[in-house]
Every structure is written in structure tokens, then in C-alpha cells.
Amino acid sequence: MTLRSGHTGINVTDLDRSLAFYRDVLGFPLLAEGKEDDRRYAFLGAPGGDGTPVLTLWQQARGAYDAGRAGLHHLAFTADSADRVRAYESALRAAGAVFAHEGLVAHREGGASGGIFFHDPDGTRLEISVPDGAEGAPAPHGATPTCGFF
């Protein structure tokens, strides 16, 4: 049996704020919500998915994401087209998301793949990309991968 990714759990400081972001802006449907001791949580499925959890938000963080600590570097999602990535970019900008780069950028100089790189309300680094469709888009870093958030 081969391992594959299951759901991803993200610690958040404010579940209501994070639900508004992941559910309402990015389109992840709420599957279930609950409480364990003082920690609230929510299971989210894939947009248009089969009801299998892909994200779990845990309200148990006491501070914002810290890129200098061991753990998650960034969480990447794949879209079906560059136009869909741009639509997400518009929705994220309207919601006040902070971006690492301007617009759709290539993963590397001259590459066909690329995406947008932004932060959730707690500062967790996120990416929405496509395997092709970014031809001609700028690459923010010539020698290092864009998804490095350098």
C-alpha cells in the first residue's frame, strides 16, 4: 500500500474568521463543526468534492503563523486553469488577503506552471497553482522556486 496525503489540519486563532476565508472566499464546503474542551474545529471538503475532508481548522493557536519555526512551510492547492487562478486572486484581493507576489507568477524562469502566493488570516502561506498556463508570467526569483516564499 502506498501512502498519499489525507486531510491537512491547520491551527487558527479565530475559527469564525478562518471559516469565512476558507469556506466563503476559497469555496471549501463545511462538512462538520464541533468543540473539544476549549478548542473548536471544523472539517472542510474539496470544492465540488465527494464530502471527504481535505482541511481541518483547529481553533487552538495563540498567535499568528511563524515561518521561522519547524512545521508547515506552505499549503498548495491546484486549480484547473490559469483563468480560475486569476478568479481566486480577485476574490482574495476583495477579501483583503496579503500576497507574496503580484499576480500570477511562474514557478521558475520560462516555466509553464505557476500560481498565486498569499496568506490566510493567521499568516499561513498558501498557493493556488496550475501545471500550465503561466507561460510568459514573470518569475520572482530566477534561481530559486517561487513556491519557496523567499
- Residues 78-114 pLDDT 10s: 999 999 999 999 999 999 999 999 999 998 888 899 9
CA atoms of 146 and 138, how far apart (whole Å): 10
Identify the pLDDT of residue 143: 65
pLDDT in tens, the chain (150 residues): 788 888 999 999 999 999 999 999 999 999 999 998 878 999 999 988 899 999 999 999 999 999 889 888 899 999 999 999 999 999 999 999 999 999 999 988 888 999 999 999 999 999 999 999 999 888 887 666 777 665
CA atoms of 122 and 80, how far apart (whole Å): 26
Identify the pLDDT of residue 29: 97
Identify the pLDDT of residue 67: 87
Identify the pLDDT of residue 148: 64
Per the listing, cell 511562474 goes with 106
According to the 3-state scheme, what is the secondary structure of 61-101? Answer: CCCCCCCCCCCCCCEEEECCCHHHHHHHHHHHHHCCCEECC
Name residue 32's beta-bridge partners: 43
Identify the pLDDT of residue 36: 82
Give pairs for 88-97: CB < 8 Å, separation 24+: 88/26, 88/116, 88/128, 89/116, 91/25, 91/26, 92/25, 92/26, 92/116, 92/118, 95/21, 95/25, 97/21, 97/25
Do residues 30 and 15 make contact, with C-beta atoms less than 8 angstroms apart? no
DSSP-based three-state secondary structure for 11? strand
